[in-house]
Amino acid sequence: MSSRPLAAPNPLDWPLTHGAVLFAVMALGVVALMGLAVPGGRHWWSRRLPCSVVLAAALTALLQIVVDDWWQPFPEELPLQVTAWIGVGILALVLAVARLLPPAPGRRRVRLGVVLATVLVLLMSSDQVNGFFEQYPSTRVLLDSWFGRAHPLAAAPVSDTLAAPPGEALAEVWHRPADLPVKGTVSSAPIPGAKSGFKARDAFVYLPPAYQAAPRPLLPVLVLMAGQPGTPSDWVNSGRLAELLDSFAGRHDGLAPIVLVVDQIGSAWGNPLCMDSRIAKSQTYLAEDVPDWIRTHLQTATGRGSLAIGGMSLGGTCSLQLAVNAPQVYGAFLDISGQQEPTLGSHGKTVKATFGGDEAAFEAVDPMHLMASRRFPETAGAFVVGEADRKYGPQQRRVYAAAVEAGMKATFTAVPGGHDWKAFQGGLDQNLPWLSRQLGLIR
């Protein structure tokens, strides 16, 4: 993932995940943690400090057990590095309590120093966790994620359109007008679950510069999904969606796929697994409600050859699920760092929650079982994984091999990064040309 240099005139654009800011926060945090660990009163070395360290370690271990083994809000376990940095933050809080409780020194200056040091350590811990996932590459992205608001979609239909003739790519018949805008637009729009009853959060729509031209070229559509926990805005902010698509459009006379970032989970912590089950009818939402909305609200190319689905992490798993469960809808898919099978943390828990323990019902929609029993010669799929992703790398390779055996026109790419936004963004960026060829946009 590229970031603007530290010399950028606006401090909001200074990178948070590498470089001077990261090292400065680290230095201040280490000094602050050492300050919290200095003698804080009677029996500090013999009782309070050792007890604080043991308590912080126990709380960190308990947190990992609660999250990974009991609550299981994520499809994957907390990475050890992330848990360690969370533990550093917990240690700072425990040390602060030990310093502030009687008979620790009670002077106001000391108390303020303890609070400031704790804040600095928590800032360091948060920045390191952010650096692991590359979720917020800059302060601007962080603020946009929290407070940014997209304008509602306002894309009126036009009577003058341009379609690609049979056997030709749209780029071969498209001529860029002189007054075409340089950048596309990003808007928000609700997509109701008219058939599924699924309650989704607002989607985001990227319309490339060519969509604003006359005649309007009938562009293909990429339905894109984020991970879990997550929100559609993750692709807009952390994924720098508009920046990637504007760059692609700049190299192709304003042409780029329309991208619709949809909500396949319903809430930050939800996970209906993109299937129709006891949890929700998420598959119907993605296979029927979303395409219906596209047809009624946008002017696009039509047919499965002009509609692709993709995503990262859970969204990548979902893209493969829809490709094999609704191949009549999506002709291509992009699976970035997806899983080998839909999961709520364990196979048994997943089958019980979705189909009441009915293994046959689960296997009827599980991609690996479907690809073992059916062939998909008319489906194109791209599998992507971060080079440092030790967990999902092997899973992606197994799924890719199964796709090839099922007759798919499949590709596999390893990109820099791990299970993070460096890999997610890079996976989309590197595969935009491939997707555009599959969708008939370019040759």
H or E segment and range at residue 258 = strand 258-262
Residue 249 CA to its chain's centroid (Å)? 22
- The strand pair at 332-336 and 221-225 is best described as unpaired
- Asked whether residue 12 is assigned to any structural domain, the reply reads no
Q: How many helices (H) and strands (E) does the chain have?
A: 15, 11
Looking at the structure of the chain, the number of domains it has is 2
Q: Do 322 and 174 sit in the same domain of this protein?
A: yes
Q: Do 179 and 53 sit in the same domain of this protein?
A: no
pLDDT for residue 86: 95
**Is the separation of the CB atoms in 266 and 280 below 8 Å?**
yes
Contacts 24+ apart (CB under 8 A), 292-296: 292/194, 292/195, 293/191, 293/192, 294/221, 294/260
Distance between CA 220 and CA 222 in Å, rounded?
7
Q: Do 48 and 177 sit in the same domain of this protein?
A: no
Token pair of 378 as six digits: 């008319």
**For position 280, which CATH number holds?**
3.40.50.1820
Residue 216, C-beta contacts closer than 8 angstroms, at least 6 positions apart: 158, 160, 161, 162, 210, 299
Q: Do 214 and 348 sit in the same domain of this protein?
A: yes
Q: Do 199 and 305 sit in the same domain of this protein?
A: yes
Q: Do 91 and 172 sit in the same domain of this protein?
A: no
Q: Do 293 and 211 sit in the same domain of this protein?
A: yes
Strand order of the β-sheet with 409-415 is 151-152, 185-189, 203-207, 258-262, 221-225, 307-312, 332-336, 380-386, 409-415
Cis peptide before 215 (omega within 30 of 0): yes
- Asked whether residue 75 is assigned to any structural domain, the reply reads yes
- Asked whether residue 141 is assigned to any structural domain, the reply reads no
pLDDT for residue 5: 41
- The strand pair at 221-225 and 307-312 is best described as parallel
* CB count in 10 Å sphere of residue 50: 11
Token pair of 303 as six digits: 């047919």
Residue 239, C-beta contacts closer than 8 angstroms, at least 6 positions apart: 226, 312, 421, 424, 425, 428
Distance between CA 133 and CA 374 in Å, rounded?
36
pLDDT for residue 39: 77
- Asked whether residue 292 is assigned to any structural domain, the reply reads yes
Which of residues 133, 148, 168 is at a domain's end?
A: 133
- Asked whether residue 293 is assigned to any structural domain, the reply reads yes
Q: Do 112 and 173 sit in the same domain of this protein?
A: no
Q: Do 259 and 405 sit in the same domain of this protein?
A: yes
Altogether, the residues listed in the chain come to a count of 443
Range of the domain at 110: 18-133
- Asked whether residue 405 is assigned to any structural domain, the reply reads yes
Which of residues 78, 98, 133 is at a domain's end?
A: 133
| Amino acid present at 336 | I
pLDDT in tens, the chain (443 residues): 343 444 446 777 787 877 888 899 999 999 999 999 987 667 788 888 999 999 999 999 999 998 887 777 776 678 888 999 999 999 999 999 988 876 545 578 888 999 999 999 999 999 999 887 777 877 877 777 666 667 888 778 999 999 999 999 999 999 999 999 999 999 999 999 999 999 999 999 999 999 999 999 999 999 999 998 889 999 999 999 999 999 999 999 999 999 999 999 999 888 999 999 999 999 999 999 999 999 999 999 999 999 999 999 999 999 999 999 999 999 999 999 999 999 998 899 999 999 999 999 999 999 999 999 999 999 999 999 999 999 899 999 999 999 999 999 999 999 999 999 999 999 999 999 999 999 999 99
Question: Which sign, positive or negative, has the C-alpha torsion 390, 286, 298, 162?
Answer: positive
Q: Do 124 and 232 sit in the same domain of this protein?
A: no
Q: Do 265 and 396 sit in the same domain of this protein?
A: yes
pLDDT for residue 148: 65
Distance between CA 2 and CA 180 in Å, rounded?
27
- Asked whether residue 148 is assigned to any structural domain, the reply reads no
**Can you state the angle between helices 80-100 and 108-133, rounded to 10 degrees?**
170
Q: Do 103 and 198 sit in the same domain of this protein?
A: no
- Asked whether residue 142 is assigned to any structural domain, the reply reads no
Rama region for 124: left / alpha / beta (φ>0; ψ in -120 to 50; rest): alpha
